[in-house]
Structure 1
Amino acid sequence: MREDWIVVALAGVTNSGKTTVTKKLHSIIPNSECIFQDLYFRDPNDPNHKYVEDLKHNNWELLTAINTDKMWTDIEEILRRPRIDPSKKNVLLIDGFLVLNFLKTVELCDLKYYLRLSKEVTWERRQTRSYDPPDVPGYFEQIVWPEHLKSFQQMLEMNKCVVLIHGTCPVQFTTERILQDIECRL
């Protein structure tokens, strides 16, 4: 039941460390569950995708690229579970680059964090990762960064209280910062 849960959103630009911090928090908080938005990307042939003709590639940076219905169903299923420890609330960690752009998660979350990076650092980090499907030449400049700027502005408009954290901060610092806030609500 919802009152048994503290719901925490960890959003941010691609490669900002969201998943690393989420997994670290999950390993520390025994009564926690995780939802990773990246697990809800639609199939490449799904008609909901916006196809970018110039690049001959889907735009994977939009909310329409994510099966939000399935993600929301899974969130609701988790929130129906009772407390693991009767003396403490459970913690649901929701990780994803657009979780604070999806109205249902915006309204649900008790704590909201957004990890930021400069364009240069984002580009450097993105070069070290593999994507399926892989980025095509020009995808970062034409799609990833411009869509990030749009979604960041939209996120600020949709959320009244978000803690902005620089993604170059050490993982331990970011984890401890968020953990302190969670512990205050347990």
Structure 2
Amino acid sequence: MKTIIVGVGGVTNGGKSTLSQFLHQKIHNSSIIAQDTYFKDDFVVPLDSNGFKQYDTLDALHMEEMMKEVYSWRKDPHEFLRRRGLIAKDSSADDELYILIVEGFLIFNHRPLNEMFDMRYFLEIPYDVCKKRRSMRVYAPPDPPNYFDGYVWPMYLQNREEMERITSEIVFLDGLKPKDEVLAAVYEDIRKEIARLQGKAAS
């Protein structure tokens, strides 16, 4: 059994979910674990000195629960898929290759998770585009006035700087390029790695 763990990170509204879902649909035996599903309840997320909720930190996430899911997949990806009804109960795991796509805005900032990635991708878009896209999204709870400039963007810059101190093995993607071009490039990259591993298994 061969495995690949792919990290898809990036700025808010940069296209992480779109890329992750595209890969999931294209790649056989793939699974997605999304960091956004592990946010703590709103009432336990603290405020900063400006009164903004500190969502863009690892402390705002149940990272231990997320890591349990990742470890569960790594221990037995075939069973992970079977429990979710994504493969037949009587299918065999022999000689199969499994892909885990981990998607989120702080996946490369959590060292235990970052160290597990075989491939890392980070979607970038400039400040003005990011701000416009963020303003068109509806969040629960909604963003308060000046939240983007007063908290979201400064935290993105801070988290990105920390991320780059942790690892240099990241492929940066231009989120302003045509979506199909970005999706195809990443898929082809992963497809080549799959072929390499399958070739190793056959040799």
TM-score (norm 1): 0.91
The aligned runs of 1:115-134 (5 Å cut-off) are 115-134=123-142
1:171 Cα deviation from its structure 2 partner: 2.3
Does 1:144 find its partner at 2:139? Answer: no
Matched, 1:166 2:162: no
Measured after TM superposition, the shift of residue 110 of structure 1 is 0.3
User: C-alpha offsets along residues 38-70 of structure 1, whole Å, 9 cap, x if unaligned?
Assistant: 000110122xx3312533x41111111111000
| In the alignment, structure 1 residue 71 sits paired with structure 2 residue 66 | yes
**Paired letter, 2:21:** K
Asked if the contact 1:4–1:82 (Cα under 8 Å) also holds between the matched residues in 2, the reply is: no
Following superposition, the deviation at residue 158 of structure 1 comes to 0.7
Contact 2:22 2:183 in 1 (8 A): yes
- Residues 69-92 of structure 1: CA deviation (Å, up to 9, x unaligned): 000001111112245764442000
Tell me, in whole angstroms, the C-alpha distance in 1 between the residues paired with 2:161 and 2:106: 12
Asked if the contact 2:34–2:102 (Cα under 8 Å) also holds between the matched residues in 1, the reply is yes
- Does 1:36 find its partner at 2:22? no
Letter of the structure 1 residue corresponding to residue 39 of structure 2: F
Check the 8 A contact 1:20/1:171 in 2, yes or no. no
> Which residue, out of 31, 47, 54, partners 2:50?
54
| 1:170 CA drift (Å) | 2.2
1:113 maps to 2:109: no
- Cα distance, 1:96 vs structure 2: 0.2
Q: 2:3 aligns with which of 5, 29, 52?
A: 5
1:19 matched residue in structure 2: 17
Aligned to 2:82: none
Residue type at the aligned position of 1:52: D
Counterpart Cα distance in 1 of 2:48 and 2:162? 21
Q: 5+ residue gaps in structure 1?
A: none
**How much is the aligned-residue C-alpha RMSD, in angstroms?**
1.5
Q: CA 1:183–1:85 in 2, change beyond 3 Å: closer, same or farther?
A: farther
Q: In the comparison of the two structures, how many residue pairs are matched?
A: 181
Percent of pairs with identical residues: 30
Q: Which residue of structure 1 lines up, in the alignment, with residue 81 of structure 2?
A: none
Between 85-94 and 163-172, report the one with greater CA deviation. 85-94
Structure 2 unpaired stretches of 5+: 79-91, 195-203
CA distance in 2, matches of 1:91, 1:27: 12
TM-score of the pair, normalised by structure 2: 0.84
